[in-house]
Chains A and B, each alone.
Chain A
């Protein structure tokens, strides 16, 4: 339901952009590569989409992962340092970076699932220390490197499509099949809705929460590799800064509750695309760049208020009963 609204809103943004700039929808082929604003938007939103999708899983279980930005910084720094100072093969470097992401995810999983700390503070630990660790890895420098394979991941293209977009597409496809075509998605939402009941019903709650954090760690690391590849370097202090907040906003815009139990994968993708399209639209329309943050904040809060339950209930009173039952499902009032 809510995803439909998001897609409609995105189409609205695209139409407004097309009115402002008739070339917006045009996709040209230059030197065998696709070029155009839409491709640009996809290219820029790839790292955030990777992070948002796995954030949707974490939020689905009723937890949160604040450390993804820090994991991006660590994985990006590892990629840059290995590529710059070692003779390892690029595939091995990629494996090492993803492995570091796995270790970070394991750390979060240990704190949340095994020690039972609240996920907000548990992942805050890695969020605070992660950038410090990345600074220690790069020794506080911006490390630059030159590697054809890794460079290709960030800026290359295959069949005319940017490799980043291909990687993102494969990731989205994998997620949708893996989460929605198996029982995993159901288990994740069950844990978010009621952990104890799911445990008693025989769901491996511990295993699934561990899996979700591992997955979040690895996809953040992949995002970190892409971001490092993009600029052929790693800036430990600024890489992926605040990406976790963007990801959480995208997931919440898609109608997920931070208390868990609900998630929408496609919605999370649409959330990121809406924010990125809005940014492009503001740039095209010639707005001074400093306005963009205010406008983004206003659009996001409007979307969130429009979806809130109390607004939904007030709206439902205005609509004819048959429509309101369909559009504004009521929740029991007792949940104050």
Chain B
């Protein structure tokens, strides 16, 4: 059973290596370590948001407000730095606190009021973007000596690649996510609630608090993704990161999580994000293809993955005749 749990992750890893191999075969520049380190830096915000989304999807919910939260956190940071002269660390702390409280509210609406997660987070998405518009309609630069110092921290690797502070933070959060999912009581509760909510309730698990924590966690991780996105682009814009939630959901599904909840791994999401990233890199390396092909390719791999997953689920439930149909 434990081996089967990892089967989708191996499939995603295989797709990633295949795509990387194809790139390395066709383009000499692709073999450079720089491509890999850029892949991590460019998709860091996606990976961080994906970790939060993985918990939401594991619990059987969904979070459509990720992209809007990324934009709102950026706008909040920009305003606090430029208009109020806060120190970046204070600004980041306030923004993250805000994102966690907002996530908690969403969680309360889902868990206590019993509203459908898709609808609540959709309204939250409109609300966050609306608040971002209220604060600032323009794209403003986010710069501060402290932030410049942060982005100058860089650990060079052989070749031209290196590890930036963004990648380091992402790596730490990834480890944190894996530990949270598999080594803590909270993680077990999330799997149980997503697997069967009623059974979890009858077992005496704290269903409602767990669901609230899950959305608070997703809010916090989208907030961190927003900070990373702002550092990465150096600008705050209320229209930033539109539709990122769909990329994140795609990555989570590619990573082997099931939208019905209870099945999935944080590592899978990480690999799913890398597959999305490498498709973009490949299309960029080609240079002649219409950017529309990126989306078509991503959708193609998503379909391929779903079909593989469907096959493997059939295989898993074969032992239980009453479930097999």
Q: Which residues of A contact B (CB under 8 A)?
A: 111, 115-118, 120-122, 124-129, 131-136, 139-140, 236, 245, 248-249, 252, 257-258, 290-298, 300-301, 304-305, 308-311, 336
- Whether A304 and B119, one on each chain, are in contact in the complex, defined by CB atoms closer than 8 angstroms, is yes
- Given contact pairs A124-B302, A129-B299, A248-B118, enumerate 11 new A-B contacts (beta carbons under 8 Å): A115-B310, A129-B295, A136-B290, A136-B292, A136-B293, A136-B296, A245-B122, A249-B119, A304-B115, A304-B119, A336-B201
Does B126 count as interface, using CB distance less than 8 angstroms?
yes
A248–B122 contact, CB under 8 A?
A: yes
- Which listed residue (B114, B116, B295, B310) contacts A116, Cβ 8 A? B310
Is A301 touching B120 in the complex (CB atoms < 8 A)?
yes
Please, which residue of chain B has its CB at the minimum distance from the CB of A125? B299
Question: In chain B, what residue has the closest Cβ to A311?
Answer: B113
B296 lies within 8 A of A297 (CB) = no
11 CB contacts below 8 A, A to B, read A115-B307, A117-B306, A117-B307, A125-B306, A128-B302, A133-B292, A258-B118, A293-B127, A297-B127, A298-B127, A308-B114
Does the CB pair A128–B246 fall under 8 Å? yes
| B130→A293 contact, CB < 8 A | yes
Q: Contacting B298 at CB < 8 Å: which of A122, A128, A236, A294?
A: A128
**Closest CB in chain A relative to B40 CB, distance in Å:** 23
| Chain B residues with CB under 8 A of A120 | 62, 259
| Distance of B175 from chain A, by nearest CB (Å) | 28
Is B119 a contact of A258 with CB atoms below 8 Å? yes
Evaluate contact between A128 and B119: CB separation under 8 angstroms.
no
- Minimum CB–CB distance from A237 to chain B (whole Å) comes to 9
A304 to B291, CA, bound (A): 39
Q: Whose C-beta in chain B lies nearest to the C-beta of A299?
A: B123
On B, residues with C-beta under 8 Å from A are 62, 64, 109, 112-116, 118-120, 122-127, 129-131, 133-134, 137, 197-198, 201, 207, 246, 249-250, 253, 258-260, 290-296, 298-300, 302-303, 306-307, 310
> Is there contact, CB below 8 Å, between B119 and A252?
yes
Q: Which residues of chain A come closer than 8 Å to B290, judged between CB atoms?
A: 135-136, 139-140
Bound complex: CA of A206 vs CA of B109, how far in Å? 35
Q: Shortest CB–CB separation between residue A260 and chain B, in angstroms?
A: 12
Report chain A residues within 8 Å CB of B125.
245
Name the residue on B nearest A136 (C-beta): B292
How close is A59's CB to chain B, nearest CB, in angstroms? Answer: 11
Q: Which residues of chain B come closer than 8 Å to A294, judged between CB atoms?
A: 127, 130-131, 133-134
Question: A135 CA to B294 CA in the complex, in Å?
Answer: 11
The residue on B at minimum CB distance from A296 is B126
For the complex, give the distance between the alpha carbons of A43 and B96 in Å. 42
Which 6 pairs of residues, A with B, have the shortest CB-CB distance? A132-B295, A293-B130, A135-B292, A129-B299, A294-B130, A132-B292
Point out the residues of chain A lying under 8 angstroms from B292, CB to CB.
131-136, 140, 236
* Nearest chain A residue, comparing its CB with the CB of B134: A290
A126 to B249, CA, bound (A): 14
- List A contacts of B259 (CB < 8 A): 118, 120-121
Measured between alpha carbons, how far is A139 from B288 in the docked complex, in Å? 12
Kindly state the separation between the CA atoms of A243 and B105 in the bound complex, as whole angstroms: 26
A290 touches B249 (CB 8 A): no
Kindly report which residue of chain A lies nearest to residue B305, judged by CB atoms.
A121
- Are A131 and B295 in contact, CB atoms less than 8 angstroms apart? yes
**A291 CB contacts on chain B under 8 angstroms:** 130, 134
Residues of A within 8 A of B118 (CB): 248, 258
Among A118, A131, A297, A298, max chain B CB count under 10 A is at A297
A64 to chain B: closest residue by CB = B118
A122–B306 alpha-carbon span in the complex (Å): 9
Which residue from A115, A117, A121, A248 sits with its C-beta under 8 Å from B119? A248
| Given contacts A121-B306, A128-B295, A290-B134, A336 and B127 within 8 Å (CB-CB) | no
Partner of A258 from B116, B303, B307 at Cβ < 8 Å = B116
Which residues on A sit within 8 Å (CB–CB) of B131? 294
Task: Say whether A304 contacts B123, CB under 8 Å.
Answer: yes
User: What CA separation (Å) do A298 and B131 show in the bound complex?
Assistant: 11
CB atoms of B130 and A127 under 8 A apart: no
B289 → A minimal CB distance (Å):
9
Contacts of B302 in A (CB 8 A): 121, 124-125, 128
State which of B113, B115, B127, B246 has its C-beta within 8 Å of the C-beta of A127.
B246
Chain A residue contacts of B120, Cβ below 8 A: 301, 304
The closest CB in chain A to the CB of B247 belongs to A128
Closest to A135 in B: B292
Bound-state Cα–Cα, A21 to B258, Å: 51
Which residue of the partner chain B has the closest CB to A301?
A: B123
A121:B126 contact, CB within 8 angstroms: no
Please indicate the chain B residues that have their CB under 8 angstroms from the CB of A304 in the complex: 115, 119-120, 123
A23–B241 Cα distance when bound, in Å, is 40
Which of A111, A126, A297, A309 has a CB less than 8 Å from the CB of B130? A297
Choose among A116, A126, A136 the residue that contacts B299 (Cβ–Cβ < 8 A): A126
Q: Quick one: closest A residue to B64, CB to CB?
A: A245
Q: For A248, what are the chain B residues with a Cβ–Cβ distance below 8 Å?
A: 118-119, 122
- A117, B258: Cα distance in complex, Å: 11
- Chain B residues, Cβ within 8 Å of A134: 292
Name the A residues within 8 Å of B64 (CB-CB).
245
C-alpha spacing A134/B109, complex, angstroms:
37
Select which of A124, A252, A300 is within 8 A of B249 by beta carbon. Answer: A124
Residues from chain B with Cβ under 8 Å of A136 in the complex: 290, 292-293, 296
Closest residue of chain A to B200, judged by CB?
A336
A contact residues around B122 at 8 Å (CB): 245, 248-249
